[in-house]
Amino acid sequence: MMKTIKNILACLGLLSLSALFIFAVQDAPSDENLEKKIINDYNVYALSVPENLNFAGEPMPLNDPDVLERMDRELLVNTYWQSNALLMFKRANKYFPVIEPILKKHGIPDDFKYLAVIESGLTNAVSPAGARGVWQIMKTTGREYGLEVNDNVDERYNLELATEVACDYLKKAKDKLGSWTLAAASYNAGMAGVANRLKDQNVTDYYDLLLGEETGRYMFRIVALKEILNHPDKYGFNFRYKDLYKSIPTYKVSVDTAVTDFVKFSEQFGINYKILKLHNPWLREPHLNNNSRKEYFIEIPKEGYYSKP
C-alpha cells in the first residue's frame, strides 16, 4: 500500500510531501478508493473561449488565432487565480454601484468599470510609477483634470471624483483614437503612445498592433474579467450574496474651513478616526489645511453600522 501511495504522489509531483499524507490515509478502505480520492479531489479543466466576446460593443476578432490564444491565456490565468477573482466579486458588489451611474451620466460604456478592476483590483493601490487610487491616476493627470493633489488632500483617492476624471479622459481618447477599445488601451499607454503605434505600424485597430507585454495584455485582461464576473457559475465560483462586501450608507458633511483635528471631528459624529479615513481616504493627514476655504464634502457613515468609539 505504501508503494502505491508513493507512486500516486510521484505522478502528482508531490513525492516530497508523501510523509505528510501517509498518516492521513492509513485507514483508507482500499488502494483503489484512495487512488480515486486523490485523483478526483481537484480537477483543472481547459476553458472554452466564448465565440462572441466584445468590449463596449466592439467585437474581439477571435477568428484571428493570435487573438484567440491571448484571450484563452487571460481566461485561464484569471479563472484559476481563484482567490483574486473571488475578491473581485466581493469588491465589485461594493464599488460598482458608485462607478456605474457616473459612467452612465457621461455616456461612457458600462464595460469601463472592468478597466478599474484590472487597474487596481478595486483598491486604493499605489503603483511603482506613482499612480494612485482605484483608477490609478498619475499626479500630473489628476491636476490636469482638476483634482487637488498634495500632501494634505489627494482627490485621486476620492472614488467619485476620480471616476469623473476617468470619464473625461476616456471621452477625449475616444474622440482622438476613434474606438472605445483604443480609448481603453490608451488608459495604459497614453493617447499619444497609442496614436504613434497605430501610425508607425500602419493599422487602425488595437488587435492588429504589436505592443509591449502590459499594453498587449490590457484589453484581454479587461474582457476576461468582464466574462468571469458576469458568469460566476460558468467559471466555478460559488458564493452567496451575504459573502459579498457591502456599501455602508453615508451622508455628506460640507466643510469650508480648516479642520485642526480629525480625531475630535470624527467623535462629533459618533465614529473614530479610522472609520473617518475608511470613508474619506483622500484626507491624507489628521488635519485639513484649507487655506483657500474650498468646500469639501466629507462622508460620514449613517448610525448603526459601526460600534461606538
pLDDT tens track for 192-245: 999 999 999 999 999 999 999 999 999 999 999 999 999 999 999 999 999 999
Q: What is the DSSP letter of 294?
A: -
Q: Give me the residue label for grid cell 487571460.
A: 74
The one-letter amino acid code at 48 reads: S
**13-27, 55-69, 174-188, 222-236, range with the lowest pLDDT:** 13-27
CA atoms of 174 and 184, how far apart (whole Å): 8
The torsion angles phi and psi of 176, rounded to 5 degrees, stand at -80, -40
From 230, 73, 85, 172, select the one nearest 182 (Cα to Cα): 172
Lowest pLDDT segment from 1-15, 83-97, 292-306: 1-15
Determine the pLDDT at residue 25.
40
**Residue 121: strand, helix, or coil:** coil
* pLDDT of 16 strictly over 70: no
- Identify the three-state secondary structure at position 288: strand
pLDDT value, residue 309: 61
Mean pLDDT, the chain, rounded, equals: 90
User: What's this model's pTM, rounded to 2 decimal places?
Assistant: 0.85
As a residue count, the chain comes to: 309
DSSP H or E run through 21: helix 18-25
Cα dihedral across residues 99, 103, 104, 106: positive or negative: positive
What local confidence, expressed as pLDDT, does residue 284 receive? Answer: 98
E-strand stretches of the chain: 54-55, 58-59, 250-255, 296-301
Averaged pLDDT for residues 46-58: 96
The architecture in CATH of the region 54-242 reads: Orthogonal Bundle (1.10)
Neighbouring-strand partners of residue 153: 283
b/e burial code for range 140-177 (CB count within 10 A of at least 16 → b): ebbeebebbbeeebbbbbbbebbbbbbbebbeebbeeb
* Closest of 228, 242, 247 to residue 85, by C-alpha: 228
* pLDDT exceeds 50 at position 109: yes
Domain residue limits, the chain:
2-40, 54-242, 248-301
Mean pLDDT in residue range 54-65: 98
Tell me which of 309 and 269 has the higher pLDDT. Answer: 269
Contacts of 85 (CB under 8 A, 6+ apart): 78, 79, 228, 235, 237
Cell numbers at 88, concatenated: 473581485
Percent over 70 (pLDDT), the chain = 86
